Structure 1
Amino acid sequence: MNTDSIWKEESGKCPVFKPLERDIETEVLIIGGGITGLTIATLLNDAGIHSVLAEASHIGNGTTGMSSCHLTTQIDAQYRKIYKDFGEKITELVARSRAEGIDFIEQLIKSKNINCDFKRVTGYQYADRPEQIADLEAEYRYAGYVDLPVELTDNIDLPFSVTKALKFGNQAVFNAQSFINGLAEHLVNSKCEIFENTRVTDIREDRGIFTVSANGKIIRALKVVMATHIPLFFNVLQTLAFPYMSYVIAATIEGDTPGNLYWDMDEPYHYIRSTEFNGRKYLIVGGADHKVGHVEETSKRFTELESYARKKFNVKSVDFKWSAEFFESADGLPFIGESPFSKKLYVATGFAGDGLVYGPLAALIISDLIQGKTNRYYDAYDSTRITIAASMADFFKENIDNVRSLVADKFGNVSEQSPDHLEPGEGKILNLNGEKVAVAKDANGEVYAVSPVCTHLKCNVHYNNAEQTWDCPCHGSRFSIDGSVVYGPAVDPLEKKEIVVVAEDKK
């Protein structure tokens, strides 16, 4: 089974960019080569502004290329919650901005002539149990309060019965990997210089100039954008945006695949769509979310999704499976705009499962801020906002959870098992000569040993057996089994440890 997303084959069609190998100066430094960073770079380039984009790995190698590639006006947090917490004006801005965000993506695709399978479809949020109808009807009322075009229906084109559904018109699907490949292609030989395999390791601001370290070189910039899902290094927003994992499978089924977007009302909810790949139609099923680092047997999440799919459809085979990390904000809306620490440092985080809409929307807002323009949607997503009533419950729950993880890991028991007893693909925190060591064995039987202490804020990492990564349960940093950084906010690798592996006596 393929463990990359069904879209990742397109990553090989992206232009290749060299790592940063010299000191450089620019008006704007963009950190991150996903949908947010590349859309910002495109908008600045179109405005004649020089920028540098630094991507730690490869273009689209993060969450963008590992999404389910659907675009909806409905939000993870639900409109009834946003309305109650923020009022009618902000909720109306959110609804309108998401619709215009999808329109903007479509316009960009047309203006840049990008082939990425963009298609308008209908979205259905459905209740499959009678006790869910009241919440569905409440969502219908609150969406209607802000003039979002929705309707209640009993008819839905799925091969199983549902109790009632909320119908959203003018939603969309596309191939996000192909989309950002197209943006990158248009940025070749432009006012934006792109560098891959260029990890930022330090940022300092002095007298209005940023000095940024990456690959042992210096980037000097007047303004910096962190298009990194969560701000790097320490930032107060890390206490207000919480890391989660979501899982996706692609399966072939008997009969026709459904042609629209669908999501249920479970917690966490499941989402369904279809796509075509190499001439075959696939059913996409996602969900089974959990907080990063809080589940070690993550492979069971794929089993759960497959079981769900088989209950609903006549599945012939599951051919792809993958997962992605995202960040949920404490109050249900993203933080987009100026960093709380600097008016020349811009952030975009807390997109939840809506990053493919919020990323380009964040690009519109931030590019306007950089150019000194007013953006009418800024108030809805102001990154310096304080929303005590809306945020407090999740703020305390999530951050107390972080403290609990930190304490439990520092003083909890660890395995006394020998490293040579690990199975291929297995990882554990072991007590080796009185020291806690994160030890993992790859598929070829090679053993890797690193410190279990996250280099961000010193929480202990946990093993993720589906992705074979070490994941931090506190702020979402993830590391490969050799200790290298996969996702921030950490920028430094886990410290390598030397161990002696003694072969098991076979006699």
Structure 2
Amino acid sequence: MNLSSGYPFDLIRNGIPYDYPRLASDRVTDVVVLGGGISGALISYYLQKAGIASLLLDGRTIGLGSTCASTSLLQYEIDTPLYRLSSMIGKKKAERCYHLSAAAIDSLENICGETHFKDFHKSDSIYFAATRKDMSLLKREYEARSAAGFAVNWMDEEELRKAYGLKAPAAIRSTQAAQTNAYMLTHALHRFNIKKGMEVFDRTPVVKIDHTRKGVSLVTSEGFRIRCKKLVYATGYESVKYIEEKIVKLSATYAVASEQFNNPNFPWQNRTVFWNTSDPYFYMRLTEDNRILTGGRDERFTSDRKRDEMIAEKARGLARDFNHCFPSIPFKKEFSWTGIFGSTKDGLPYIGSYNKLPNALFALGFGGNGITFSVMAAELVSALLAGKKSRDAGLFAFGRL
């Protein structure tokens, strides 16, 4: 499965900044992390902080799976609105999930500080009604978040126009959001981990995995064997092939980056991120080099070919969507791409053990909160591997639905 296609902006802008070796000999270690994208990089960071001996393998060049296609919006809001999630799993559990997601943004800010990664910016988030008929549901969400203790305020049509130039009937403004560059952050984490003694190998496909009660054995395409006590699957949407149950619905999602604005004069305070109540939702933000990045218009994923054939059409649609929201800002698209996107029934990730594969842990941050979910997964997985119990493990466990 090709996880992305087209011209992902962060990959075009940054290329391949670092080289990593192929695995060229047998290995024995405590933990193997399978997958070198943002999830695997964060898990490795937490493992080395915990002093757990581990190594990381990726079948591709590092970052060229879903990570390079990420649009890198960081929001505590989960794809399933809080009021709806509360009706699905209970108010207390739903609020806990939202607060964990909010805390993950702060954790990531601290990680970026420790690794000296500078492309991380806290910002506000505007969750706006796509149509007037969505206003009643948006109001319910506002009330649910307020009751849960989140710093939010309601903005009407005139306030949105004056503050942001946004054409929308109403919105919830949140202060806990951020934006980053997931692709370059992944490399920054790997370089930091390597300096701390972590081994990172790319272009090393694993062709055979044997799970036993005593441990796990992996064989690479070149015949090298790695033995470990525990295996962490951080291969994202490709992990579904290891899970018998249908836990995720795969879609193709699309994104566009505009031409660069020389002297942008947007009324976007604090590099605000925007997203709306549409299903699938439309979102946008400003990049570090003053381009507008938009995304959405998801379609059910059926094949790489059909997904890729729609890039041009979807890019035109995203440009129209932006112009509808911000009619005074000229949008000239330059880069467009597509990637795989997965959604679960409750909008939550799957993190932890899977009873049909002994000595395995999964870190599957499905949904629009992939990066914050990856932080949550890294924290939980490292704690479990260190022998600690977590009161939150059941929230993201297999079989919870």
Q: Give the TM-score of the pair, scaled to structure 2.
A: 0.89
Give, as a single letter, the amino acid of the residue that structure 2 aligns with 1:223: K
Alignment counterpart, residue 109 of structure 1, candidates 109, 112, 115? 112
Give, as a single letter, the amino acid of the residue that structure 2 aligns with 1:282: R
Alignment counterpart, residue 305 of structure 1, candidates 318, 328, 331? 318
Give, as a single letter, the amino acid of the residue that structure 1 aligns with 2:121: K
Partner of 2:74: 71
Aligned residues: 380
Alignment counterpart, residue 65 of structure 2, candidates 62, 67, 85? 62
Residues 450-489 of structure 1: matches in 2 within 5 Å?
A: none
Partner of 1:130: 132
Query: For each residue in 1:40-85, what CA deviation from the matched residue of structure 2 results, as whole angstroms up to 9, or x when unmatched?
Result: 1111112221111011112221222211111111111111221001
What is the Cα deviation at residue 350 of structure 1?
5.2
What is the Cα deviation at residue 207 of structure 1?
3.8
Alignment counterpart, residue 257 of structure 2, candidates 238, 250, 254? 250
Partner of 1:400: none
Partner of 1:338: 353
What is the Cα deviation at residue 310 of structure 1?
3.2
Partner of 2:207: 201
Alignment counterpart, residue 43 of structure 1, candidates 36, 43, 46? 46
Q: Is the 8 A contact 1:14 1:59 kept in 2?
A: no
CA distance in structure 2 between the aligned counterparts of 1:255 and 1:101, rounded to whole angstroms = 31
Partner of 2:190: 184
Partner of 1:19: 22
What is the Cα deviation at residue 184 of structure 1?
1.0
Runs of 4+ off more than 6 Å: none
Partner of 1:29: 32
Q: Is the 8 A contact 1:335 1:349 kept in 2?
A: yes
Q: Does 1:235 align with 2:238?
A: no
Q: Give the TM-score of the pair, scaled to structure 1.
A: 0.71
What's the secondary structure of 2:18's corresponding residue?
Answer: coil
Give, as a single letter, the amino acid of the residue that structure 1 aligns with 2:101: R
Greater shift in the superposed pair: 239-248 or 338-347 = 338-347
Partner of 1:170: 176
CA distance in structure 1 between the aligned counterparts of 2:151 and 2:39, rounded to whole angstroms = 27
Q: Is the 8 A contact 2:297 2:314 kept in 1?
A: yes
Give, as a single letter, the amino acid of the residue that structure 1 aligns with 2:274: Y
Q: Does 1:284 align with 2:290?
A: no
Alignment counterpart, residue 151 of structure 1, candidates 150, 153, 157? 153
Q: Does 1:265 align with 2:277?
A: yes
Unaligned runs of 5+ in 1: 388-507
What root-mean-square deviation, in Å, do the aligned CA atoms of Structure 1 and Structure 2 show?
Answer: 2.0
Query: For each residue in 1:127-161, what CA deviation from the matched residue of structure 2 results, as whole angstroms up to 9, or x when unmatched?
Result: 14221110100111222232222221122333242
Give, as a single letter, the amino acid of the residue that structure 1 aligns with 2:24: E
Give, as a single letter, the amino acid of the residue that structure 1 aligns with 2:42: T
Percent identity of equivalent pairs = 24
What's the secondary structure of 1:353's corresponding residue?
Answer: coil
What is the Cα deviation at residue 222 of structure 1?
0.5
Query: For each residue in 1:146-197, what CA deviation from the matched residue of structure 2 results, as whole angstroms up to 9, or x when unmatched?
Result: 2222221122333242211111112111111221111111122543211100
Partner of 2:11: 8
CA distance in structure 2 between the aligned counterparts of 1:321 and 1:181, rounded to whole angstroms = 23
Q: Which has the higher helix share?
A: 2
Query: For each residue in 1:373-417, what CA deviation from the matched residue of structure 2 results, as whole angstroms up to 9, or x when unmatched?
Result: 1234322212x2332xxxxxxxxxxxxxxxxxxxxxxxxxxxxxx
Alignment counterpart, residue 225 of structure 2, candidates 215, 218, 230? 218
Q: Is the 8 A contact 2:251 2:301 kept in 1?
A: yes
Q: Does 1:363 align with 2:374?
A: no
What's the secondary structure of 1:256's corresponding residue?
Answer: coil
What's the secondary structure of 2:368's corresponding residue?
Answer: helix
CA distance in structure 2 between the aligned counterparts of 1:151 and 1:9, rounded to whole angstroms = 37
Give, as a single letter, the amino acid of the residue that structure 2 aligns with 1:308: D
Q: Is the 8 A contact 2:78 2:348 kept in 1?
A: no
What is the Cα deviation at residue 3 of structure 1?
3.9
What is the Cα deviation at residue 209 of structure 1?
1.9
Query: For each residue in 1:73-115, what CA deviation from the matched residue of structure 2 results, as whole angstroms up to 9, or x when unmatched?
Result: 1111111221001112211211110111001100111122223
What's the secondary structure of 1:60's corresponding residue?
Answer: coil
Give, as a single letter, the amino acid of the residue that structure 2 aligns with 1:363: A
Query: For each residue in 1:327-347, what CA deviation from the matched residue of structure 2 results, as whole angstroms up to 9, or x when unmatched?
Result: 111232111111132352011
Q: Is the 8 A contact 1:32 1:226 kept in 2?
A: yes
Greater shift in the superposed pair: 362-371 or 290-299 = 290-299
Distance 1:323 1:113, change over 3 A: same
Residues 61-100 of structure 1: matches in 2 within 5 Å?
A: 61-100=64-103
CA distance in structure 1 between the aligned counterparts of 2:166 and 2:43, rounded to whole angstroms = 42
CA distance in structure 2 between the aligned counterparts of 1:53 and 1:160, rounded to whole angstroms = 44
Partner of 2:366: 351
Give, as a single letter, the amino acid of the residue that structure 2 aligns with 1:235: I
CA distance in structure 1 between the aligned counterparts of 2:8 and 2:390, rounded to whole angstroms = 34
What's the secondary structure of 2:236's corresponding residue?
Answer: coil
Greater shift in the superposed pair: 340-349 or 39-48 = 340-349
Give, as a single letter, the amino acid of the residue that structure 2 aligns with 1:251: S
What is the Cα deviation at residue 316 of structure 1?
4.9
CA distance in structure 1 between the aligned counterparts of 2:393 and 2:132, rounded to whole angstroms = 39
